[in-house]
Structure 1
Amino acid sequence: MIDGDTLQCTDGRRIRLRGIDAPERGERGHRAATEALRRRVEGRSVTVTPHHINRGRIVADVTVEGRNVGQELDRLGHSKRRGARR
């Protein structure tokens, strides 16, 4: 895990969850958001649906067992929704 809205795959790719913004390092809620993302994806098979590249990261929808991880983090209060540019 990089933080609450970005993860690093075992092959080195960085995936930014599309549509959410989690607290950055040093901001309130950063640790909780990062741990919430970790609990949802670590050791599990994930599906990555890429949308575009931003700052060297793939911006994508990430699902685990049919559930959109970004939407779950938002619903649980670990992030806020980003603009619908994508």
Structure 2
Amino acid sequence: MDDIEQALGDYGRSRERTAQQAMLDLMALGCQTIALPPIDEQRRIGATMNAIGDQVAAFTALAEASGRVHAALSNALVAGVVGLNDPFTPGSPT
């Protein structure tokens, strides 16, 4: 019996003394069946999760870029480099 089985057995016995609850030992736990969807559906789920991860990464990059722009504009306002009423043309140098 390895250390994990011993620890789980000790834990189970201590729990039996304090409360009458059903316990699964390692053997019973290892015999449990886990239902999985068909492989094609698993692949679709994986592709969907990857697409969501890509969107999260893109939004994270956008949020970080927005934070840098905010900081730069705030610093420029405080330093007097730009004013609140200065004209702005997209694509023009700062």
Structure 1 length-normalised TM: 0.20
Structure 2 length-normalised TM: 0.19
Higher relative contact order (CA 8 A, sep 6+): 1
Structure (1/2) with the larger helix percentage: 2
Structure (1/2) with the larger strand percentage: 1
